[in-house]
Homo-oligomer: A and B are copies of this chain.
Amino acid sequence: MINVLCEKIKKLNAPIVVGLDPMLSYVPEHVVKKSFEAYGETLEGAADAIWQFNKEIVDSVYDLIPAVKPQVAMYEQFGVEGMKAYKKTVDYCHEKGLVVIGDVKRGDIGSTSAAYAVGHLGKVQVGSRTLSAFNEDFATVNPYLGTDGIKPFVDVCREEKKGLFILVKTSNPSSGEFQDRIIDGRPLYEWVGEKVAEWGADCMGDSYSYIGAVVGATYPEMGKVLRKVMPKSFILVPGYGAQGGKASDLVHYFNEDGLGAIVNSSRGIIAAYKKEPYAKFGPEHFGEASRQAVLDMIADIDGALQAAK
């Protein structure tokens, strides 16, 4: 799957991923109204609204982008109905030929991590049959529990040709509380990054490992160091746009082949119609606003990469 991701990025010249993190407040009123008319002000109604919202965005941008990253929390908050909308979104994105990165940030140990891994990336044994549950292509994983937590995911990835992005340095302001603490002269995130490289060494696609890392756009100096610590790991980069990360900051997350990183934008794309310069599209045409925001993001990142050459 890492090979597929690399090919798509090259073909589209778009090292970007659209975060499908639909807060109900992002969904235009006419969409919400229709869902509430059909299902009432219920969890089902809310889940339908975010699914309809997602569908229109995906329809508007799928030909421009290699991948989407649905954030499961935004679905899970609506309970079982939300999880149905998550699954529908994953399946629909697959139909449209997109790589799906499940932003699930799971992580546990042994058989529990194995259960998450089969549920999200693999197949679960049910009697004589093997069945898929959520079936994303990549999942984000939390490293706090160490190798015991990661290995069951890696095993499933190896079997299914899928991949991981392991949290190394997150984009939030307080990420340094633990991640930046110095251990034997180097910050924790570097030690985690080294482990990611180690876990991924046996899991190579053509040029990159399918065990990647998450490094926030908001810490470019750290991204520069981590690029070198994990030369073969693909880096998923949250924090561009709404959180403050700029394209020019991100050039060092890429390798000389122009690959090695994929930059996420969520709010900046899916809620584009709510903000200048896309407000002109109006809520009725939120999909078109998202399309324009994607085009602008691709140009912004390409510009920064060209300028750095």
Contacts and interface: CB of A to CB of B under 8 A. Distances in A.
A82 interface: yes
Interface in A154-200: 167, 170-179, 181-184, 188, 191-192, 195
A201 interface: no
Contacts of A36: 127
A302 interface: no
A31 interface: no
Given A41-B128, A112-B71, A126-B43, A175 B148 contact: yes
Interface residues of A, number: 73
A229 B78 CA distance: 37
Contacts of A42: 126, 129, 131
B134 A24 contact: no
Contacts of A178: 143-144, 146, 188, 191-192
Given A42-B131, A73-B113, A80-B83, A142 B107 contact: yes
Given A149-B172, A172-B149, A108 B73 contact: yes
B181 A195 contact: no
Contacts of A132: 79
Interface in A237-263: none
Contacts of A115: 23, 71, 73-74, 76-77
A203 interface: no
Nearest to A134: B79
A115 B105 CA distance: 13
Interface of A: 21, 23-24, 32, 36, 41-43, 45-46, 71, 73-74, 76-80, 82-84, 87, 105-113, 115-116, 118-120, 124-129, 131-134, 142-149, 167, 170-179, 181-184, 188, 191-192, 195
